[in-house]
Amino acid sequence: MGLDARRLPGGGTSARRDGGILGAGGPTFLTTKLDFVVNWARRSSLWPMPFGTACCAIEMMAAAASNFDLARFGMERMSFSPRQADVLICAGRVPYKLAPVLRRIWDQMPQPKWCISMGACASSGGVFDVYSMVQGIDTIVPVDVYIPGCPPRPEGLIYGLMMIQEKIREETLAEHRVLRAEDPLRAGVPEADADEVAGLTGPFGNSTRQNRVSDVARTDLADRPGDRKP
Partner 1 sequence: MDDPPKPPAGSALDTVEEGPRTGHALPVRLAATTLRHPTVDGLRARFGASVQHHAISAGDQHVVYVEAGRNREVLRWLKQDPAQHYDLLADVTAVDFGGDRPLEVVYQLWSVPHRRALRVKCELPLAALAIDSVEPLWRTADWLEREVYDLFGIEFRGHPDLRRIMMPENYAEGHPLRKDFPLRGRFTRAEQTRRALSQDPVDQYIPTELATGREPRIPGDVPLGESEVVEPSPEPEG
Is 195 a binding residue for partner 1 by CB under 8 A? The answer is yes
Residues 102-141 that bind partner 1 (CB under 8 A): 103-104, 129-132, 134-135, 139-140
Question: Any bridge partners for residue 87, and if so which?
Answer: 48, 114
**Measured from the CB of residue 207, what is the shortest distance to partner 1 in angstroms?**
5
7-15, 22-30, 175-183, 185-193 -> range binding partner 1 (CB under 8 A): 185-193
Is 227 a binding residue for partner 1 by CB under 8 A? The answer is yes
Is 201 a binding residue for partner 1 by CB under 8 A? The answer is yes
**Measured from the CB of residue 102, what is the shortest distance to partner 1 in angstroms?**
9
Considering beta carbons, is residue 24 or 127 the nearer one to partner 1?
A: 127
Considering beta carbons, is residue 63 or 137 the nearer one to partner 1?
A: 137
**Measured from the CB of residue 98, what is the shortest distance to partner 1 in angstroms?**
9
Considering beta carbons, is residue 170 or 183 the nearer one to partner 1?
A: 183
Q: Which residues of 41-79 are buried (b: 16+ CB within 10 A; e: fewer)?
A: ebbeebbbbbbbbbebbebbebbbeeebebeebbbeebb
Radius of gyration of the chain, Cα coordinates, nearest whole angstrom: 23
Question: Any bridge partners for residue 133, and if so which?
Answer: 95
Q: Which helix (H) or strand (E) holds 173?
A: none
State which of residues 2, 10, 184, 225 lies at the interface with partner 1 (CB under 8 A).
Answer: 225
Contact 114, 87 (CB under 8 A): yes
**Measured from the CB of residue 135, what is the shortest distance to partner 1 in angstroms?**
6
**Measured from the CB of residue 39, what is the shortest distance to partner 1 in angstroms?**
32
11-19, 93-101, 148-156, 177-185 -> range binding partner 1 (CB under 8 A): 93-101
